Structure 1
C-alpha cells in the first residue's frame, strides 16, 4: 500500500542555510547527500511526497539530477525561494505536479509553504514549512521543515497522530 509523505525546506545546494539554521553538515555536498539518503530511507517508488516549498537553490540540471535520485511521485507547492522560477521550470526539472497555491488534503489539512492564519475556532490544521527551526504554539499548525524531523519526510499518519496526541494533551 503506497504511503503519502510530507516535507519542506530542503534548500538543496544552499550553502548558507547550514549556518542560518545551524544544520549539522560540514559542506553543502554532505548536506545534499544526507538529505537524499534520509528521503529514500522512508519514501518508496510507489509513494507520494508533497514538498511544501524551498526545494533547491541549484540550476535546472543539478536540480533534475537530485529529483531523479529521489523516490516517489513528487508534488511541489511553491515556496518563496521557488517562485522566481516558473511552474514549467519545476515540472521540467522533475516534479510530477506543481502548485502555485496551497492545497487541501483529506478535507482537513491545509498544505502551504508559509504558515496560514488559523484561529482557535477553526477545526483545520495547517501543515507548512518556511519558518525552519521555529514553531507555532497550538494545535492548528504543523511545521514540516526538515530541521524538526531529522531531515526525513513524515507520513500523513505520523502528522495526524502527532496532531491528535497534542490535542488530547491540551484537554
Structure 2
C-alpha cells in the first residue's frame, strides 16, 4: 500500500500508515466478519512484480476477516491471481473472494451495489451505490456514497472513526441518511 500525491495522509512513511490501518481494522473486524474492499487494494510496484504481490499479501494476511475484493483501476489481474493462488480457508471460508465489477448486497429492504467506480444508477430509491475510486470527493447524488479511506462522507457520522477503520453497515446507514438530508436541503 502506498502514499500518493493525491491522498495526503498524516504519516511519516508507508510502513507507519499500513500498521495504523492494520491496527484500526483489527480493532473492529473479527475473523468471522466479511469486509468488502472496493478496489485499489495497494499501490506498490517493484520489479519483479512478485515482490510487490508478496508484500501486499503480507499486509492483507494481517487483516482480520474475509475480504471480498472488487477490482479497482490500480489492481492488476496478476495480483488477484497471485492472491487466489495463496488463498486459504479461514473459519471454513476462503480468506479472499474476487469480483471484477461489483457486488450486490441486499439488506433490510435496500440494495447496496458495491463498485470501485461511482455508478449513476438513475432513479432507484432502494439502491445505493457504495464506491471508492475518488479521493476527498463526493458524487452529488444522494444514492452514491464514497466509502473509500479518504471519503469526506464520514462527515455524516455523529462520531469520528480512526483512519483505516472499515465502515460497518450501521456506519453506512447513517451516512446514507445524512447525505439524503443534506441533499434534500439543497434541492
- Provide the TM-score with structure 2 as the length reference: 0.75
Give 1:115-130 correspondences, 5 Å limit: 115-119=118-122, 121-123=123-125, 124-130=127-133
Matched, 1:47 2:60: no
Q: Which has the higher contact order (CA 8 A, sep 6+)?
A: 1
More deviation, 33-42/72-81: 33-42
Does the aligned pair in 1 maintain the 2:53–2:79 contact within 8 Å?
no
1:61–1:87: structure 2 CA closer, same or farther, 3 Å change rule?
Answer: closer
C-alpha distance in 2, partners of 1:96/1:83? Answer: 15
Task: Name which one, 1 or 2, has greater alpha-carbon Rg.
Answer: 2
Q: Deviations over 1:53-106 (max 9, x none)?
A: 111234121112111110001110010011352532232354520111211111
Q: Is there any run of 5+ residues in structure 2 with no aligned partner, and where?
A: 45-51, 88-94, 155-162
Give 1:8's aligned residue.
none
Deviation at 1:153, TM superposition (A): 0.6
Give 1:144's aligned residue.
147
Q: Deviations over 1:119-159 (max 9, x none)?
A: 3x222111000001111123111101112353211011210
Q: Deviations over 1:4-62 (max 9, x none)?
A: xxxxxxxx1x24x1x32111111111111111111111111111100001112341211
C-alpha distance in 2, partners of 1:165/1:45? Answer: 30
Give 2:102's aligned residue.
102
C-alpha distance in 2, partners of 1:84/1:45? Answer: 26
State the number of aligned residues.
156
1:87–1:28: structure 2 CA closer, same or farther, 3 Å change rule?
Answer: closer
More deviation, 160-169/64-73: 160-169
Does the aligned pair in 1 maintain the 2:22–2:164 contact within 8 Å?
no
Matched, 1:76 2:78: no
Does the aligned pair in 1 maintain the 2:6–2:135 contact within 8 Å?
no
Give 1:159's aligned residue.
172
- Provide the TM-score with structure 1 as the length reference: 0.82
Question: Aligned-residue CA RMSD in angstroms?
Answer: 1.9
Give 2:158's aligned residue.
none
